[in-house]
Structure 1
Amino acid sequence: MILNSTFIGITAIVTMVIWIMVSAELTKSPKKKEEKNNSRRKLIVLMSAGMLFTIFLVLSSIQNIQF
């Protein structure tokens, strides 16, 4: 399965943005308990999406290697 390089490039940019958002969320210090719960949920969603996108990029890169 060969994917369009433009699609892979856009996916890589989206993945970087997700990981930047994860790091920004980790640097915040929530004051209230509600903010902590919302922050935790947001981190779980962002990290799950980041890992899925990263796995997709790694697998597509491995498929493009010519032996």
Structure 2
Amino acid sequence: MNSTFMAILAIVMMVIWIMVSVELSKSPKKQEEKENSRRKLIVLMSVGMLFTIPVVVSLIRNFPF
């Protein structure tokens, strides 16, 4: 893959994982807020994993053995 594309993907991936950590540090008060927070975490972590996999595969392929 193009290195510029991988750099942009890595930056987006870092932003997503930062958003996950911020969401985890919040403490929701109401039950409804807990449900929304849980859904948000599931979506963010799923997208984060989908963005992390191509970056890791690309790094492994380009690593000289």
Q: Which residue of 1 aligns with 2:52?
A: 54
Separation in 2 of the partners of 1:35 and 1:56? 32
Q: How many residues of Structure 1 are paired with residues of Structure 2 in the alignment?
A: 65
What is the one-letter code of the residue matched to 2:10? Answer: A
Separation in 1 of the partners of 2:10 and 2:35? 29
Separation in 1 of the partners of 2:54 and 2:2? 13
Measured after TM superposition, the shift of residue 65 of structure 1 is 2.7
1:31 alignment partner, SS class? coil
Separation in 1 of the partners of 2:30 and 2:23? 15
Q: Which residue of 1 aligns with 2:33?
A: 35
Deviations 1:20-52 (A, max 9, x none): 000000000111111000000000010111111
Separation in 2 of the partners of 1:27 and 1:49? 19
Q: Which residue of 2 aligns with 1:44?
A: 42
Q: TM-score, normalised by structure 1?
A: 0.90
Separation in 2 of the partners of 1:52 and 1:45? 11
What is the one-letter code of the residue matched to 2:25? Answer: T
> Which is helix-richer, 1 or 2?
2
